[in-house]
Amino acid sequence: MLSLVSQSAAFSAPAAPARAAVQMMDVSGLEAQASKLNPVVGYFDPLKLGEGEFWGDSNAATIGFLRESEIKHGRVAMAGFVGYIVHANDIRFPFDKIATSVPTGLAPQAVWDAIPEAAKWQIILTIGFFEFWRENSYVLEAEGEKHYMRGGKPGYFPTFDALPHPVPFNLFDPFKLSKSASPEKKASGLLKEINNGRLAMIGLFGFLSESQVPGSVPALTGIVRPYDGEIMGPFTADFSIF
């Protein structure tokens, strides 16, 4: 199915005008960006990852990979942070039959354990499709973009316009609120997104730590529900590959 989607994107996607290539960032660029993100901490890279050349590729490609990874993990953490709070407060949408079938009073991790295996597969396959769509060179080229390791924009997510059937909303900017934003506003928004993502990663791990080891995060003691399952092994409870 995925191969058919990529072929459809290659042959039926509307041609997009070529866009100017994004200047790939080097270590000095990372240092400049770090000073804008947090003037107090500045550039902090004790493992020298920014100087690496992963998989025998160039340093610029490696930096592109690292920037994309941070933005992606930050976005997931922001969604996870909000989702954790929603489930911790037993908020259920009445139209979601699966969610309403799960008992209340559970830790958010236990809610995942309690949903049917088919629902877990649905979530995982959806995320897998997003990963495939983001990395698909046919889709990127159809929109005049490049891969983030080849001069493309870290954090850019393609539209769904190349799909063989209509999709009402795109994952990024579904209501086109930032379509006409100035480059300066977009650059400022990206810095805010990175900082919010970093904070969300710290916050989410605070929730997970306190739920597993009560008292490990004093500010959350007595607030976060305990969980005695395998946090780092979310597929061990009622989940099988075959």
Q: Where is the binding site for chlorophyll b, in residues?
A: 75, 163
Rounded Cα gap, residues 178 and 199, in angstroms? 23
Our measurement of the distance from residue 108's CA atom to the centroid of its chain's CA atoms, rounded to an integer in Å, reads 19
Q: How many CB atoms lie within 10 A of CB 202?
A: 11
Annotated binding site for chlorophyll a: 70, 73, 192-193, 196, 198
Residue partners of 4: CB distance under 8 A and separation at least 6: none
**Which residue's structure tokens are 């009622």?**
238
Q: Which of 45, 18, 40 is nearest to 30 (CA)?
A: 45
Task: Please enumerate, by residue number, every residue annotated as part of a binding site.
Answer: 70, 73, 75, 163, 192-193, 196, 198
Q: Is the CB of residue 214 less than 8 Å from the CB of residue 226?
A: yes
- DSSP class per residue in 121-184: HHHHHHHHHHHHHHH-HHHHHHTT---TTTT--TT----STTSSS--SS-SSSTT-SSTT--HH
Computed from CA positions of residues 135, 136, 139, 140, in that sequence, does the dihedral angle turn out positive or negative? positive
DSSP structure string for 225-239: PP--S-TT-TTSSS-
